[in-house]
């Protein structure tokens, strides 16, 4: 077992905001270093319906003898084939190394509150927890994952900067999470609808989105699907809009910069988009709403991963062939979006947590990032690209039945337009709390609903964000600017 310091107990205020944010969301190949010896286990090649055999799993002996239990908490994946593969994969590893593995999947909106509750208790039920967004706000309460990162980089080469900046705090030198996978966030659009307004390749700029989306809504009664709700997709989409207009929450030195003309301009744009191309339901969405909306024919464009598309394929919906993808929309300043999903695996810093088993399992998981990508139907992308050497070929010729098979080629360059939620700085604990409290979606919604002017909404958000940054800066976990 790795020695640990006494656990840090988060304050009651921190626990309440973490829990309330989740409740609201629910409501609304070897790259470098020394080579490691791997052996394929018999019968471990994976297959997904309609795609044939995928890459075989491989096994590497852990660096130390393991025992006891490993209890894992994670989301119920939006591509169910992943979980069908993951659970026996994890249990088989446990049998090989002498660890009893149990796995609990829960709905994504319930994960933040579950993690907060376990950490607050000081006696967490799980040794390893995963969420699909940054968990930097838990840094004082989790084990430093630097050892896992160092070993993975020794085996597989450098981790992507995108995932490093979403799991590492440069102010403390601590890896508050391990981020071996991430998910691109393209635009998903109905080609037949956008052909009707002269944009068969979909919107490529925010001006296109406004003009084309407004025409489609006026002519066809089909709205756009950009949320302003207290849930993860709205949080991600509105950050991309802000960055593309030259705005942001912080600069590269972690100074708060939310109160700017660029932020006001982004809000004014969203007000116009809402008035001309959307309905009030976008204020009460949950994380599945945009997926369901585009598959039911009620939305013309969403900012999402490929999960809605995979669902349409799995269910044999006619709309599947009509769903196509665009890169990040270009704004007045740039064109970037947040990673749609940024996996953060954390280990609570508490007594009786099986740290060694948790870390060795994550290294085994990293060894098998090719089966991860395959069994998620190309939803999960690797933080160590050499672990999935066939990914570019799969995107060129989708093995899971895209029509045409080249439909996912737009994702090949997704690293060019994906960034972390702290852009242009790191995803520090203050950024994690701002995300958890859904301050950005509330700011946009207050203005779009007419409750505040754009200037007032920005000023109120700035007051909240400054207080959060001052708190974490006083603890030494956010840079001094």
* Per-residue pLDDT of the chain in tens (481 residues, 90 and over written 9): 333 333 333 333 333 333 333 333 333 333 333 333 344 443 456 778 778 789 999 998 999 999 999 999 999 999 999 999 999 999 999 999 999 999 999 999 999 999 999 999 999 999 999 999 999 999 999 999 999 999 999 999 999 999 999 999 999 999 999 999 999 999 999 999 999 999 999 999 999 999 999 999 999 999 999 999 999 899 999 999 999 999 999 999 999 999 999 999 999 999 999 999 999 999 999 888 999 999 999 999 999 999 999 999 999 999 999 999 999 999 999 999 999 899 999 999 999 999 999 999 999 999 999 999 999 999 999 999 999 999 999 999 999 999 999 999 999 999 999 999 999 999 999 999 999 999 999 999 999 999 999 999 999 999 999 999 999 999 999 998 7
Backbone angles phi, psi at 186, to 5 degrees: -75, 170
Cα gap 47→342, rounded to integer Å: 25
Determine the Cα–Cα distance for residues 223 and 216; give it in Å rounded to an integer: 7
Distances (CA, A) of 301 to 62, 290, 412: 46, 9, 20
- 203 and 328 assigned to the same domain: yes
Check whether residue 178 and residue 196 sit in a common domain. no
d(CA 399, CA 402): 8
Torsion, Cα 315 328 83 154, to 10 degrees, reads 150
**Residue 246 and residue 166 share a domain:** no
Number of Cβ within a 10 Å radius of residue 452 = 18
209 vs 277: CA distance, rounded Å: 9
- Is 405 within a domain? yes
| Domain identity same for 372 and 323 | no
| Alpha helices (runs of H) in 204-354, residue ranges in sequence order | 206-220, 232-244, 261-277, 289-295, 307-314
Handedness of CA 284, 290, 135, 352 (dihedral sign): positive
Query: Token match 């490993």: residue?
Result: 70
pLDDT of residue 44: 56
The verdict on 236 and 307 lying in the same domain is: yes
CA separation, residue 65 to residues 1, 98, 356 (Å): 10, 8, 9
> What CATH number does residue 468 fall under?
3.40.190.10
For residue 36, how many C-alpha atoms fall within 13 Å in the half-sphere facing its CB? 26
Considering the domain architecture, whether residues 70 and 144 belong to the same structural domain is answered as yes
Closest CA to 358 of 144, 122, 135, 57: 144
Quote the CA–CA distance of 358 and 346 in Å, as a whole number: 9
Residue 358's SS3 state is: helix
- The answer to whether residues 373 and 393 belong to one domain is yes
- Quote the tokens at residue 39: 């052996």
Edge-to-edge order in the sheet of strand 69-75: 100-106, 69-75, 128-131, 344-346
Decide if 298 contacts 290 (C-beta within 8 A).
no
Give a yes or no: residue 7 inside a domain. Answer: no
Q: Considering the domain boundaries, does residue 357 fall inside one?
A: yes
Please indicate, yes or no, whether residues 300 and 194 belong to a single structural domain of this protein. yes
The pLDDT value recorded for residue 10 is 36
| Number of other residues whose CB lies within 10 A of the CB of residue 252 | 12
In angstroms, the CA 120 to CA 296 distance is: 40
21 shares its domain with 132: yes
- Closest by alpha carbon to 429, among 232, 139, 143, 141? 139
Say whether both 193 and 86 belong to one domain: no
Per-residue pLDDT at 480: 81
Are 193 and 349 contacting, i.e. CB atoms less than 8 angstroms apart?
no
Residues 6+ apart with CB under 8 A from 288: none
| Distance (Å) of CA 216 to CA 199, 308, 417 | 11, 21, 26
Residue 64 belongs to domain spanning: 12-35+48-183+341-416
Start-to-end Cα distance in the chain = 38
Is 41 part of any domain? Answer: no
Instruction: Mark 143-172 as b/e (b = at least 16 C-beta within 10 Å).
Output: bbbebbbebbbebbbebbebbbbbbbbebb
Are residues 192 and 174 part of one domain?
no
Assigned domain for 452 exists: yes
The pTM (predicted TM-score) of the whole model is 0.89
**Total domains present in the chain:** 2
In a shared domain, residues 116 and 211 = no
pLDDT computed for residue 2 by the predictor: 31
Would 479 be classed as within a structural domain?
A: no
Structural domain includes residue 42: no
Query: Alpha-carbon distance 420 to 177, whole Å?
Result: 14
For the chain, helix, strand, coil in percent to 5 are: 45, 15, 40
Q: Is residue 169 part of a domain?
A: yes
d(CA 127, CA 92): 18
CA–CA dist 101, 72 (Å, integer):
8
**Contact status, residue 344 vs residue 166, Cβ threshold 8 Å:** yes
């Amino acid at each position: 077992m790795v020695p640990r310091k006494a656990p840090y107990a988060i304050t009651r205020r921190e626990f309440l905001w973490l829990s309330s944010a989740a409740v609201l969301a629910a409501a609304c190949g070897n790259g470098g270093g020394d080579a490691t010896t791997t052996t394929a286990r018999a019968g471990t090649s994976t297959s997904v319906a309609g795609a044939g055999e995928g890459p075989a799993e491989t096994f590497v002996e852990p660096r130390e003898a393991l025992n006891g239990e490993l209890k894992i908490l994670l989301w119920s994946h939006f591509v169910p084939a992943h979980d069908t593969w993951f659970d026996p994969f994890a249990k088989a590893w446990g049998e090989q190394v002498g660890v009893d593995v149990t796995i609990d999947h829960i709905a994504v909106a319930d994960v933040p509150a579950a993690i907060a509750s376990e950490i607050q208790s000081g006696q967490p039920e799980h040794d390893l927890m995963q969420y699909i967004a940054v968990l930097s706000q838990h840094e004082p309460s989790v084990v430093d994952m630097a050892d896992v990162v160092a070993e993975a980089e020794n085996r597989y080469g450098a981790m992507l900067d995108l995932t490093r900046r979403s799991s590492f705090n440069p102010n403390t030198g601590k890896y508050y999470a391990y981020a071996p996978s991430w998910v691109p966030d393209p635009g998903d659009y109905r080609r037949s609808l956008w052909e009707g307004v002269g944009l068969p390749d979909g919107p490529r700029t925010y001006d296109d989105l406004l003009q084309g989306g407004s025409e489609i809504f006026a002519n066809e009664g089909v709205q756009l699907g950009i949320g302003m709700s207290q849930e993860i997709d709205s949080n991600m989409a509105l950050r991309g809009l802000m960055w593309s207009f030259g705005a942001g929450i912080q600069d590269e030195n972690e100074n708060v910069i939310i109160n700017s003309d660029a932020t006001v301009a982004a809000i004014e744009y969203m007000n116009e988009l809402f008035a001309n191309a959307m309905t009030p339901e976008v204020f009460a969405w949950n994380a599945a709403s945009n997926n369901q909306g585009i598959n039911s024919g009620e939305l013309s464009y969403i900012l999402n991963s490929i999960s809605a598309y995979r669902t349409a394929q799995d269910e044999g919906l006619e709309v599947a062939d009509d769903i196509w993808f665009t890169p990040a929309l270009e704004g007045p300043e740039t064109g970037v979006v947040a990673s749609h999903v940024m996996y953060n695996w954390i280990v609570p810093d508490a007594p009786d947590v099986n740290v060694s088993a948790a870390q060795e399992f994550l290294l085994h998981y990293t060894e098998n990032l090719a089966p991860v990508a395959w069994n998620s139907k190309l939803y999960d992308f690797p933080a160590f690209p050499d672990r999935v050497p066939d990914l570019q070929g799969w995107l060129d010729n989708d093995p899971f039945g895209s029509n045409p098979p080249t439909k996912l080629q737009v994702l090949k360059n997704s690293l060019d337009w994906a960034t972390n939620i702290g852009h242009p700085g790191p995803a520090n604990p203050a950024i994690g709390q701002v995300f958890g409290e859904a301050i950005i979606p509330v700011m946009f919604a207050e203005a779009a609903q007419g409750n505040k002017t754009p200037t007032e909404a920005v000023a109120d958000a700035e007051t909240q964000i400054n207080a959060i940054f001052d708190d974490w800066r006083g603890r030494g976990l956010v840079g001094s600017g």
